[in-house]
Amino acid sequence: MIQIINKTRLLAVNQGCLLVMEKRADQLLYTLPGGIKKKKERLVESLKRETKEEIGLKVKVKKLSFLSTQSVQKELQLLVKHYFVFKTKSSDFRILEPEKFVKVLWIPWREAFPFLDKEDKKAVKMYFKKCPTLTNIV
């Protein structure tokens, strides 16, 4: 039996920049804020909770827009990531899980892109492709 794990991911964007967290790893890796959805939680509630727990950023549900869902199967698990866009200029965030992440920062999306995982790359590319005025900003 396949276990389905739903995760939420936040594409916080400001012009051509993306809010990313640098993972604690031997090589440079970025990830987007978000995490695993609890059983009785709605996706947006999960995203709001996870973002606050990881970086202290308060996400306003009214300002979220759904972007896409990406899934990947790993053995007996189906990992389903739900991506939401949040346009903000906020810098009111900090790493609250230092055991997992080194720092959180705004970075031009093209600079972050090579260091994201496959599903995050698809979502970021999809978003910035829809916004042609931003694709040339580096």
- Does position 118 have pLDDT exceeding 90, yes or no? yes
Which amino acid is located at 122 in the chain? K
- Does position 136 have pLDDT exceeding 70, yes or no? no
Confidence tier at 137 by pLDDT (50, 70, 90): very low
Q: What is the mean pLDDT of the chain?
A: 92
Predicted pLDDT at 130: 75
- Does position 32 have pLDDT exceeding 90, yes or no? yes
**Percent over 70 (pLDDT), the chain:** 94
- CA–CA distance, 104 with 3 (Å, rounded to integer): 31
Average pLDDT over residues 88-92: 91
- CA–CA distance, 81 with 75 (Å, rounded to integer): 17
Average pLDDT over residues 53-65: 94
